[in-house]
């Protein structure tokens, strides 16, 4: 069904062919404001393969200048990465191959190479491709985009250029990229920011996102991330600052709210990778767990996506044994999961994550700790009606076993009474 946002976009886009270059540029800025308001369904309905084919044809027929096309595609790519629309058809469109061919042709030039449009095209490709970039192209894109990301220029426009470059690099998914292409530069960017605080919050998070994408293919990065760049210390500070600046009662400024909400989600997803990949216990884990619990409690009423991400992250920390069970108890993780299990709108997936938390917690608890946890479970569940909670969860067990391939006992009381 067509909404106001999709209708306005369609009307503006249909007028592109009749506009001069400056008129197109003005409309592109107006389109960006519409993109700020779009939800996932609206975005999917607009940016189909057919839409990218239209843009490609407009470039081919010179009805859309390359400069304006890049401006439009950067706006689209920015929203693609921030909101993470995975069902995105850019990679199967002729526009993707046009951009890759243009990058290749410009890169091959021995003389007269124009780096500005080359960098812009590389950024567009990284922002839009979602993991579908030709292997020879990825190293070219990383090399040129890093040049922009390393800029130390001051001023709002320069900071935005660096932010866009780092955001593009953060969308490189699971490619293996040789360390020689990026590691020295990325370390310089992080360490300079740690000293001077020159990056925007999104730019700084994007640096870490890029590193974690590399970590999944290159275990040699562990020492750099853990020790040289002090990831956990940095994550704690960023989470604490974001928690303070978000209006958890839902700010009327929707754009500001979305930016901060999405940025916090990106940090939690990065932490999920961190705890899955690193089996190391550090004293900072207690503080980090406390941060996650604090975010969970703040988000529980109005930010369900963040709330769910926090519970899943606590489960990962427990299962991967990154923290002592005492640290999880001290940090408030068990209380947070107990609070969540009483949510009246709890879906099957969250029931699964919660039950797996308790299953693995019970295996790691000593006898006296198990009794204390059992007492806390009883107290929490009795507040809302223990039998009702048990009955409501029992109905989901067969489904959960089939969906997640786990042997969860049909005697659900085992998770709460006999643990």
Q: Give the 3-state secondary structure of 85-149.
A: CCCCCHHHCHHHHHHHHHHHHHHHCCCCCCHHHHHHHHHHHHHHHCCCCCHHHHHHHHHHHHHHH
What is the distance between the alpha carbons of residues 96 and 157, in angstroms, rounded to a whole number?
27
Residue 305 CA: distances (Å) to CA of 260, 266, 270: 13, 11, 15
Q: Indicate if the pLDDT at residue 287 is higher than 60.
A: yes
Domain for residue 413, yes or no?
no
Same-domain pairing of 30 and 117: yes
Residues 258 and 185 in one domain: no
CA distances from 183 to 75, 167, 180, 221 (A): 28, 17, 6, 9
Residue 227 is inside which H or E element, if any? none
Residues 6+ apart with CB under 8 A from 264: 239, 242, 243, 246, 295, 306
Indicate if 57 and 97 belong to the same structural domain. Answer: yes
Judgement on whether residues 112 and 141 belong to the same structural domain of the protein: no
Structural domain count of the chain = 3
Mean pLDDT (whole number) for 68-80: 92
Q: What is the residue range of 158's domain?
A: 134-229
Report the alpha-carbon distance of residue 367 to residue 178 in Å, rounded.
49
Residues in the chain: 419
Residue 7 lies in a domain: yes
Provide Rg for the chain, Cα atoms.
24
Which of the residue ranges 212-216, 307-311, 356-360 would you say has the lowest mean pLDDT?
Answer: 356-360
113 and 174 co-located in one domain: no
> Which residues are within 8 A (CB) of 243 and not within 5 positions of it... i.e. 6 or more apart?
264, 291, 294, 295, 298
Is residue 334 in some structural domain? yes
In this structure, are 266 and 178 located in the same domain?
A: no
Provide mean pLDDT across the span 267-284. 79
Q: For residue 4, is it within any domain?
A: yes
Look at residue 118 in the predicted model and tell me its pLDDT. Answer: 93
* Same-domain pairing of 163 and 267: no
Query: Which of these three, 80, 115, 132, is where a domain ends?
Result: 132
**31 & 104 share domain:** yes
Whether 172 maps to a domain, the answer reads yes
Range in 150-154, 182-186, 244-248, 409-413 the model is least confident about: 409-413
Q: Where are the alpha helices (DSSP H) in 171-247?
A: 183-196, 201-215, 222-223, 231-245
- Residue 390 located in a structural domain: no
Last residue of a domain, one of 196, 229, 262: 229
Q: Could you tell me if 97 and 187 lie in one domain?
A: no
Question: Are residues 179 and 282 both part of a single domain?
Answer: no
Is 403 contained in some domain?
A: no
Domain boundary among 113, 132, 151: 132
214 and 178, same structural domain?
A: yes
Q: What's the token pair of residue 176?
A: 């293996």
Neighbours of 349 (CB within 10 A): 14
The residue behind tokens 């369900």 is 304
pLDDT-wise least confident of 17-21, 223-227, 361-365: 361-365
Check residue 410 and give its pLDDT.
Answer: 47
């Amino acid at each position: 069904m067509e909404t106001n946002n999709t209708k306005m976009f369609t009307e503006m886009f249909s007028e592109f062919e009749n506009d001069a270059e400056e008129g197109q540029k003005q409309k592109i800025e107006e389109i960006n404001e519409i993109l700020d308001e779009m939800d996932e369904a609206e975005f999917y309905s607009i940016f189909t393969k057919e839409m990218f084919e239209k843009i490609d044809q407009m470039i081919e027929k010179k009805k859309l200048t390359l400069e304006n096309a890049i401006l439009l595609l950067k706006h689209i790519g920015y929203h693609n990465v921030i909101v993470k629309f995975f069902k995105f058809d850019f990679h199967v469109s002729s526009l993707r191959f046009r951009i890759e061919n243009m990058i290749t042709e410009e890169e091959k030039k021995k003389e007269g190479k124009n780096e500005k449009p080359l960098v812009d095209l590389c950024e567009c490709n990284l922002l839009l491709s979602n993991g579908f970039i030709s292997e020879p192209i990825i190293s070219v894109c990383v090399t040129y985009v890093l040049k922009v990301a390393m800029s130390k220029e001051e001023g709002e426009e320069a900071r935005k250029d660096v932010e866009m470059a780092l955001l593009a690099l953060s969308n490189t998914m699971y490619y293996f990229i040789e360390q020689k292409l990026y590691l020295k530069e990325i370390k310089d960017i992080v360490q300079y920011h740690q000293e001077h605080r020159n990056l925007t919050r999104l730019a700084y998070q994007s640096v870490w996102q890029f590193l974690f994408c590399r970590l999944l293919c290159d275990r040699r990065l562990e020492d750099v991330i853990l020790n040289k760049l002090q990831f956990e210390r940095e994550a704690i500070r960023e989470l604490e600052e974001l928690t303070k600046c978000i209006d958890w009662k839902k700010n009327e400024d929707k754009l500001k709210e979305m930016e901060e909400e999405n940025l916090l989600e990106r940090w939690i997803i990065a932490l999920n990778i961190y705890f899955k990949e690193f089996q190391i216990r550090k004293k900072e884990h207690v503080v980090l767990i406390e941060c996650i619990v604090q975010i969970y409690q703040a988000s529980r009423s109005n930010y369900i996506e963040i709330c769910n991400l926090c519970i899943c992250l606590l489960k990962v920390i427990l299962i991967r044994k990154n923290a002592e069970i005492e640290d999880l108890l001290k940090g408030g993780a068990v209380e947070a999961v107990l609070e969540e299990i009483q949510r009246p709108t709890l879906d099957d997936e969250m029931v699964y994550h919660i039950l797996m938390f308790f299953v693995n917690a019970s295996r790691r608890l000593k006898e006296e700790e198990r009794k204390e946890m059992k007492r806390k479970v009883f107290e929490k569940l009795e507040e809302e009606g223990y039998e009702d909670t048990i009955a409501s969860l029992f109905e989901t067990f067969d489904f959960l076993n089939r969906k997640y391939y786990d042997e969860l006992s049909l005697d659900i009381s085992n998770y709460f009474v006999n643990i």
